[in-house]
Amino acid sequence: MRSLLGICVLCLMWVPLLQGCANSRDIQNLAYVTALGIDYEDGKYKTYVQVLNFSNIARSENTQLGTEVPIWIGKGQGDTLAIALADTNATSQFPLFWGHLKAVVLSENILRRDGKETYSTLNRFYEVRYNVLVYATREKMTDILTQRSLFNLSPLDTIMYTSMQVRSQSPYILSAYGNRLIANMNEPGNSFYMPSIAINRSTWLEDKKQKGMFEMDGAYFFNQGRLVDRMSVEELKGIRWATRKIIRTSLQVPLDKDRKAVISFTHPKLKVRPKVTGSGDVTFDLSVTANGTIRESFNAPIKELEQKAEQAIEDEIRKTYRIALSKKCDPFQLEEALYRQNPRVFHKLSQGGMFFLNEHSLGSLRIKANVTSTGKYKEVVK
């Protein structure tokens, strides 16, 4: 009996030392940050924090599509990014929770100042995850962070958050995660790009009222962590043949003066082969393989479509390379291919961060376009 009493007393003595739930926070009393915009103006960092009302996100039988629910934006500014974020916290009526942050949007000003250090500062906070989508933009931050999806659904249903490739004619600029950007930024020879997001205000109508929708309008290229230049989506058309993750992309194939066929290609494959000459110069031979389905053919023979598609693909690649060369960008990752195969030559050519590609660097192009399907119409393939 005494031993039992002693055990009870000992247990009671330990009770005050046990951790309780006094410091826990009720989930309904938190403000969940889903996106963050960062700008730099007039010598100040400016932050824009997007907080969503979950009544516009949850799906239930009582959900009414088309009902607009306000999007809350908190603004802050300061001499440093950390102070600007703290400025937003000072006026928030609920604690900000960053564990659901899905997208970070950076302005051109912040990229030219020091985009790498900005993202590193944000990533130090333990609640922010590594797999956050990162974009650049020329739009106003308030416009980006208040942009809705179709049917007035929440911003979480837009391409800025889903990172999915939409099935359009030019979706060849894909979203990028922050952890991959940082990894590529620190890798020698990796001239990586950050997708540029914009709002297209001329495509969709709600009744007769124009409604803006997100689109990728270009990309910003970096070298050794510093911004080099920007290329538009039209200038980057040739990059789609170097992006294997592309689900579907449509190519217009000119048949004659007035007719153009259309072939939809999936998951193109690009191989880069650096060749070092005796004089120390380097040329890069590219080979592309792509399988496609006919969308419009005007009854042209399969063989003719494939040949003309191969020429159209080569023209796109060479045009993109010429434009990129004038801006000292490397969208086809040619420098990285040399670094992987022959690092000694790469370090010799890139001494002092020099951009060594020129108009003679792009060597031969071998294109193989295969028409594997004619759609629902039955035609002879091969």
Phi, psi for 143 (deg, rounded to 5) = -70, -40
Q: At a CB cut-off of 8 Å and minimum separation 6, what does 183 contact?
A: none
In a domain, 270, yes or no: yes
pLDDT at residue 324 is higher than 90: yes
In a domain, 21, yes or no: no
Residues 246 and 187 in one domain: no
Write down which residue in 203, 234, 265 finishes a domain.
234
Residues 197 and 245 in one domain: no
CA distance 246 to 266: 7
Residues 197 and 254 in one domain: no
**Can you read off the two tokens belonging to residue 195?**
């997708």
Phi, psi for 115 (deg, rounded to 5) = -65, -35
In a domain, 120, yes or no: yes
Residues 74 and 47 in one domain: yes
**Can you read off the two tokens belonging to residue 292?**
């496609």
Q: Where residue 373 falls among pLDDT bands split at 50, 70, 90?
A: confident
- Per-residue model confidence (pLDDT) at position 241: 93
Q: Where residue 27 falls among pLDDT bands split at 50, 70, 90?
A: low
Q: In this predicted model, what pLDDT tens digit does every residue of 130-141 receive, in sequence order?
A: 889 999 999 999
- Residue predicted with more confidence, 52 or 272: 272
Q: Where are the beta strands (DSSP E) in the chain?
A: 31-41, 44-51, 72-78, 96-97, 103-107, 133-137, 176-177, 193-206, 209-223, 226-232, 249-254, 260-276, 282-296, 362-373
* The pairing of beta strand 103-107 with beta strand 31-41: parallel
Share in percent of the chain as helix, strand, coil (round to 5): 30, 35, 35
Write down which residue in 208, 234, 260 finishes a domain.
234
Which CATH number does the domain housing residue 248 bear? 3.30.300.210
**Can you read off the two tokens belonging to residue 349?**
């050519």
Residues 132 and 210 in one domain: yes
Residues 314 and 268 in one domain: yes
Segments forming the whole domain that contains residue 198: 27-234
**Can you read off the two tokens belonging to residue 227?**
């911004």
CA distance 217 to 202: 14
In a domain, 7, yes or no: no
Residues 110 and 189 in one domain: yes
In which residue are the tokens 């005050």 written?
A: 16
- Per-residue model confidence (pLDDT) at position 167: 46
Residues 139 and 96 in one domain: yes
Residues 149 and 241 in one domain: no
Residue of 277, 283, 271 whose CA lies nearest to 332: 271
3-state secondary structure of 18: coil
Q: What stretches of 124-264 show up as alpha helix (H) in DSSP?
A: 141-145, 159-162, 178-185
Could you give the C-alpha distances from 134 to 116, 221, 277, 303, in angstroms and in order?
12, 13, 39, 42
Q: Where residue 229 falls among pLDDT bands split at 50, 70, 90?
A: very high
CA distance 110 to 46: 10
CB-based contact 373:263 (threshold 8 Å)? no
In a domain, 254, yes or no: yes
pLDDT at residue 359 is higher than 70: yes
- Per-residue model confidence (pLDDT) at position 235: 94
pLDDT at residue 1 is higher than 70: no
Residues 159 and 250 in one domain: no
In a domain, 191, yes or no: yes
